[in-house]
């Protein structure tokens, strides 16, 4: 007897996808190369807008794209039911040389 589990894929990116195509009803489709596997992602315009907002408003950001593994393609697979969460990356504060010398 096996314990049942749920397989969910999570991909992290920190730059805008290239070669984004508009498909039916304005949905956006793009491919991400994740360690040699091509993952095809299709999202609603509202979901894709999260990436565009991050690119415009955050100097550094990271996006987590999560979904279920779908059908295999020639070089990877289709991500089903993808969702995108975007986070601003805050620069780590660096101590100046004068602060390090103060005792």
4 part of a folded domain: no
Q: Please say if the pLDDT value at position 101 is more than 80.
A: no
- Structural domain includes residue 18: yes
68-74 average pLDDT score: 95
What is the rounded distance in angstroms from the CA atom of residue 68 to the CA atom of residue 54? 24
**pTM metric for this prediction:** 0.81
Q: Does some domain include residue 44? A: yes
- Mean pLDDT for 44-63 is 94
User: How many domains does one find in the chain?
Assistant: 1
pLDDT of 97 over the 70 cut: no
> Residue 95 above 70 pLDDT?
no
- Structural domain for 15, as ranges: 9-90
Q: Is residue 95 part of a domain?
A: no
Question: What is d(CA 99, CA 72) in angstroms, rounded to the nearest whole number?
Answer: 55
Whether residue 101 lies inside any domain: the answer is no
Interval 55-60 mean pLDDT: 94
Dist CA 60 CA 83 (whole Å): 20
**CATH number of 68's domain:** 2.40.50
The pLDDT confidence band at residue 96, using thresholds 50, 70 and 90, is: low
């Amino acid at each position: 007897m096996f314990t049942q589990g749920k397989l969910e894929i999570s991909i992290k990116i920190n730059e805008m996808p290239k070669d984004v195509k508009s498909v039916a009803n304005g949905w956006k489709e793009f491919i991400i190369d994740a360690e040699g596997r091509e993952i095809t992602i299709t999202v609603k315009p509202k979901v894709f807008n999260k990436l565009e907002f991050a690119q415009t408003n955050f100097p550094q950001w990271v996006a987590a794209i999560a979904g279920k593994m779908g059908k295999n393609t020639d070089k990877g697979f289709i991500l089903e039911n993808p969702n995108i969460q975007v986070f601003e990356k805050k620069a780590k504060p660096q101590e100046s040389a004068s602060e390090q010398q103060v005792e």
